[in-house]
Structure 1
């Protein structure tokens, strides 16, 4: 009687980890980043801003590829990112509290100050993308 041994390799489970974002603020981009800023509709003029804040990873593992979600409104409470809540990502969030930055483009026709609402992030405890 012969036996067959079958070895099946399964990938390690990678859990989605929630990241708290707080102490949010923004500044205009430096000239070298702002030059040529356009919005998704093509050639419309846009203003460039850097959103800054703190990211809190409450786990003991580094979180990778954390997608940033939030809502941004102009001075008239109009959304500056129509139908879009994913704003960007953070490549790595180490355990504890760390700083993050995100570059955004806002149509030049939308008045400031901007209002940053409902910001959060979620990423993975293992690298998903290469």
Structure 2
């Protein structure tokens, strides 16, 4: 005759095996997940300049044949993570002189391949419609990247 505890033995064995597998998976997965967590990077001291002729000649607006202006945005980074940040996306808003959005429906406006720990510099190129009045204004700029290499 089986006792109530011996009837549950196979179930308890399976439960213990499942628990051990989940713990082992968590131990293996958690350190690698930290490498892929988004790391915020502060962007500041933003400015811009007109692209050199070799970059800006013949530029047109995306999806049209309208003339466009090419600009290079410069700024500084502050990476407080203590490790290099890679594949960082740049987010923010760019407005023209009349405070109209330059890129409606777009928050991601650029990328930085690698940001070293501490203070650094960055730049990226944008093209905007030629009929937008200057000066351009920048608001809410920030970057988010990864501590480990990420496949794209």
Q: Which structure 2 segments of 5+ residues have no match?
A: 1-20
Whole-angstrom distance in 1 between the partners of 2:126 and 2:108:
11
Q: TM-score, normalised by structure 2?
A: 0.77
- Root-mean-square deviation over aligned CA pairs: 1.6
Where 1:12 maps in the other structure, the secondary structure is helix
**1:21-80 Cα distance to aligned partner (Å, 9 max, x none):** 000000000001101212223211100000000011001110000000010000111111
Listed as ranges, the matches of 1:1-130 within 5 Å are: 10=29, 12-13=32-33, 14-129=36-151
Whole-angstrom distance in 2 between the partners of 1:75 and 1:41:
24
Q: Which structure 1 segments of 5+ residues have no match?
A: 1-5
**Higher strand share goes to which structure?**
1
Q: TM-score, normalised by structure 1?
A: 0.90
Which is higher, the Rg of structure 1 or of structure 2?
2
Query: Which of 1 and 2 has higher RCO (CA within 8 Å, sep 6+)?
Result: 1
**Higher helix share goes to which structure?**
2
